[in-house]
Amino acid sequence: MHNYFILSDEELFDLVKKNEEPAFNELYNRYKRPMVGLALKKLDDDDAVEDIVHDLFIKLWANRENIQITQHFKSYIYRALRNKILDYFAHQVHERKYLDSLRLHGEGFVESADHQIRERQFLAELDRLMDKYSSQDRIILKMRIDGYSNTEIAEHLGLSEKTIRNKYSLIIKDLGGKLKILALFFFFLGT
């Protein structure tokens, strides 16, 4: 039986690699609060920060046997946190561009009767693509396209903000390529 709180981070991680959950719990307890504090300086979203830190530790546990740390554990874990934050920012930028392009694409159709017909066809095709999703998922996508925040959607549907964020992410990943092809098809119809 180990006295985990007196072990170094590196000794703890060696035990983690041997599937010792108490060693993992000790590392988690040592680093969670400081990592959340640091991440909050970079992001102004408590839920996102909690998710990032939690996901980082989940991946650490899941990949423990394959991780080779050549420096101090502290350096490794903070570099991993920095990378997760950068990934979060990249995802936010990509998501915002995607929503903006959908919104602009919809607004561009209003110019003439021909464009209005194409808009109706585009929206009908979008509805057809959305048929495979639950009514709740369709509401989430429509509200996001209309500019509602995750918090507003969560309140409207009586779900947690994290649930909305996760559901929306899955919808966007699944629809991403299909909507781009659909938008290009209707764009070229009008030229």
The per-residue pLDDT for range 107-139, each reduced to its tens digit, is 544 455 555 666 677 667 767 777 777 888 888
DSSP state of 111: G
Q: What is the pLDDT of residues 167-180, one digit of tens each?
A: 877 777 777 666 55
Measured CA to CA, the distance from residue 153 to residue 49 in angstroms comes to: 20
DSSP state, residue 149? -
Q: DSSP H helical segments within 109-160, as ranges? A: 113-130, 135-145, 150-157
Q: What is the pTM of this model?
A: 0.50
Can you give the pLDDT at residue 25?
93
Does the pLDDT at position 75 exceed 80?
Answer: yes
State residue 107's pLDDT score: 52
Least confident of 42-56, 92-106, 113-127: 92-106
**Phi, psi of 76, deg, nearest 5:** -60, -50
Higher-confidence residue of 29 and 191: namely: 29
Question: 129 or 186: whose pLDDT is higher?
Answer: 129
Percent of the chain residues past pLDDT 70, beyond the cut: 74
Q: Which residue has the tokens 């995750």?
A: 150
Q: How many CB atoms lie within 10 A of CB 190?
A: 13
